[in-house]
Structure 1
Amino acid sequence: MKKNLFSIIILFTLVFSNTFSQEMNKIGVHLELEYSTEITKKGDNVGGFSFFVTPSYKIGENATVGIGTGAKLFKSLELINDVGSIEYRDKKLVSIPLYVNTTYKFKVNKTTPFVECKLGYSFLNRDYSWKSSRLFPEHQGVVDVQSNLKGGFFFSPSMGVLLPTNNRQYFSVSLAYCLERFSGKAKFIQVDKVVKSSASHHLAALRVGYIF
């Protein structure tokens, strides 16, 4: 999976790099690879590898705005059994962010510092089921549970530097903060009860990219 994502990014770079150079016209694309990890230790660590594709439009000399998307690969801890003993499993998941992106570049000689912000929604829809005999002691027997995990609000400011190449394009290196929210819902069939939950995750990330 990771090799396929990397191949797609390389293909985009080779095919479109000359066409979309931001020094030659107002339309550009920023490709980024990211690795993130949780800042806090509460709950799941939903950090992992991500990539972003952000087409953008140049405003003036230093600013760009655009709409981007990508994919994030991470693991989530799922409860799979609560009968007799509690059992969990690590499940590999993929979320799809869709965001508005703004970038501002500060002019320097050989390197260009920049700040950037991504604001949007991360799409995820995961259904799974498990059983419990502990949560409702008043109920005789096992309770079947249908759970659902969804994505939510996505916010990620970053700051870094751009390194120019010979063909007026840039490599980028940046540090980012990410706020991601997920929501969950569990339906307990035999007792006819629904429980909703939500969680906010705070992550630190390192990104490397290419702008053309």
Structure 2
Amino acid sequence: MRIFFVTLISLLTFVNVFAGANDKPMFSDDEHMPFDQRGPKKGYYGAADIGFVVDPGIVESNLAINIVNGYRFDEHFAIGIGSGLRSYIEVVVATVPIFIEPKYDFINNTISPFVAMGIGYSFEIIDGFDGAGFFFSPEVGASYTMNQQVTFTFGLGYEYQNLNGAGFDGISLMIGIGL
């Protein structure tokens, strides 16, 4: 069972590193482009986020990292598959969530509000992937588009993980970059 999960995590990491490779320049001179041509376009997208999950009842915060790869259907709707890492300081637990994340950008502009929802399964990794359970993470935020290929995001959300009957939840604060 442990080999399966390590292989799955390795495969998701490999896809994330190599799927976004293309021959387009990362930064282009699109300051002169019409406003409606800026922003994300149809096709592959990748995103990496880092932040914290804060439980209001516990003073300490917990590290959260996500990597999502997916397909953008148009300038508004995208769906991806993601994996992440959560480190819970108070209870010495580390988890790897694997999830599907639909995302909707309300407007196609330099600054665009969005909603996203990660839903999937989470695996506890300190004790050899023995704990597992439901993962749920709705988020609202805004993205700042530098050009058609680079976007910075800020998100505020809620996160819940259930590992063998024990629930971990809190408010999530994430910053990230999308390509």
1:3 is aligned to none
- Cα drift, residue 169 of structure 1: 1.9
Point out the structure with max Rg over C-alpha. Answer: 1
Correspondent of 2:51 among 29, 34, 59: 34
1:96-107 equivalent positions in 2, closer than 5 A? 96-107=96-107
Counterpart Cα distance in 2 of 1:57 and 1:149: 32
Counterpart Cα distance in 2 of 1:18 and 1:39: 45
Correspondent of 2:65 among 51, 62, 69: 51
Give the RMSD, CA atoms, in angstroms. Answer: 3.3
2:112 is aligned to 112
- Cα drift, residue 180 of structure 1: 1.0
1:68 is aligned to 82
1:7-26 equivalent positions in 2, closer than 5 A? 16=21, 23=40, 26=43
Question: Which one has a larger percent helix, Structure 1 or Structure 2?
Answer: 2
Does structure 2 retain, via aligned residues, the 8 Å contact 1:105–1:113? yes
User: Which letter does structure 2 place at the counterpart of 1:116?
Assistant: A
Question: Which one has a larger percent strand, Structure 1 or Structure 2?
Answer: 1
1:199 is aligned to 166
Gaps of 5+ in 2: 1-12, 27-38
Counterpart Cα distance in 2 of 1:157 and 1:18: 34
Change (3 A) 1:23 1:174: closer
Gaps of 5+ in 1: 1-7, 78-90, 128-147, 184-197
User: Which letter does structure 1 place at the counterpart of 2:75?
Assistant: E
- Cα drift, residue 109 of structure 1: 3.8
Does structure 1 retain, via aligned residues, the 8 Å contact 2:85–2:96? yes
1:155 is aligned to 136
Aligned residues: 152
Does structure 2 retain, via aligned residues, the 8 Å contact 1:20–1:28? no
1:81 is aligned to none
TM-score normalised by L of structure 2? 0.71
User: Which letter does structure 2 place at the counterpart of 1:65?
Assistant: I
Counterpart Cα distance in 2 of 1:39 and 1:17: 43
